[in-house]
Amino acid sequence: MHTLAERLRREIRNVPDFPKPGIQFKDITTVLKQGPLFREVADALYAQWSAERIDKVVAIESRGFIYGAVLAYRLGAGFVMARKRGKLPAQTVSMEYALEYGTDTVEIHADAIQPGERVLVHDDVIATGGTAQATVALVEKMGATVVGCSFLVELGELRGRDRLSGYRVTSLVTF
Ligand code: AMP
């Protein structure tokens, strides 16, 4: 018998040098396409947060939307998209964050989260944690409470978890 983490370690495809040289891209499409495994991952992600009262799942563009939506469904929570600049059509609130070179911006619809709501942040992969950290900061700027952060994959060496200290952070497999 292999644990889910062991199977994910084997099934998630590593694509070297994508999208640029030196990056080891963790491709979850090899998991998504397998019916039983797709469901098992959904159930495991849900189990990590099922004891919490969560009003909204804020999912990070774009692969975070996949299990973010499943998590919202299972938790009985609303689903909110955190997107790159200029993608959301209505009024937004935004948070800028530093990249290795330059900056990026994450946006959420201004009416998507109410003050006092309990929010779970979700993405497929946590690498440096910069995107998740900015999303957490944005949710808090909107007056909501971040209950924690859920990821499928954690890249341990990049220590993204350290940027989310003080929050409960979960993942299903660490590379
Ligand atoms: P981060 O460095 O944690 O801010 O990651 C930025 C975004 O890129 C997140 O949405 C991650 O899901 C994605 N990402 C970063 N590194 C990888 C990687 N090696 N494989 C797959 N996705 C990645």
pLDDT digits (tens, 9 = 90+) for 31-70: 999 999 999 999 999 999 999 999 999 999 999 999 999 9
Q: Is residue 40 part of a domain?
A: no
- Tokens 């030196």 found at: 22
Best probe residue, ligand 1, of 131, 135, 149, 150 (max atoms within 8 Å of C-beta):
131
Instruction: Provide the pLDDT confidence category of residue 1 given band limits of 50, 70 and 90.
Output: confident
> What's the 3-state SS for 91-115?
CEEEEEEECCCCEEEEEEECCCCCC
Residue whose CB lies within 8 A of the most ligand 1 atoms, among 125, 133, 174, for a mutation test:
125
Residue 31 lies in a domain: no
pLDDT tens figures, 130-159:
999 999 999 999 999 999 999 999 999 999
125 lines ligand 1 (CB under 6 A): yes
- Give the total number of structural domains in the chain: 1
In a domain, 124, yes or no: yes
- Cα distances (Å, whole numbers) of residue 116 to 11, 39, 55: 39, 31, 10
19-32 tens-digit pLDDT: 999 999 999 999 99
The CATH number of the domain holding residue 151 is 3.40.50.2020
Whether ligand 1 lies within 6 angstroms of the CB of 154 is answered as no
Chain centroid to Cα 79, Å, comes to 12
| Per-residue confidence (pLDDT) for residue 72, from 0 to 100 | 99
For residue 31, the CA-to-ligand 1 centroid distance in Å is 17
32 found inside a domain: no
Do the domain assignments include residue 34? Answer: no
Euclidean distance between CA atoms 129 and 155, whole angstroms: 10
Known catalytic residue at 163: no
In a domain, 96, yes or no: yes
- Annotated catalytic residue, options 13, 39, 100, 118: 100
Q: Give the domain extent around 100.
A: 52-174
Q: Is the pTM of this model over 0.95?
A: yes
Residue 37 lies in a domain: no
Establish whether 100 is a catalytic residue. yes
Query: Of 109, 8, 125, which Cα lies nearest the Cα of 64?
Result: 125
The pLDDT assigned to 43 comes to: 98
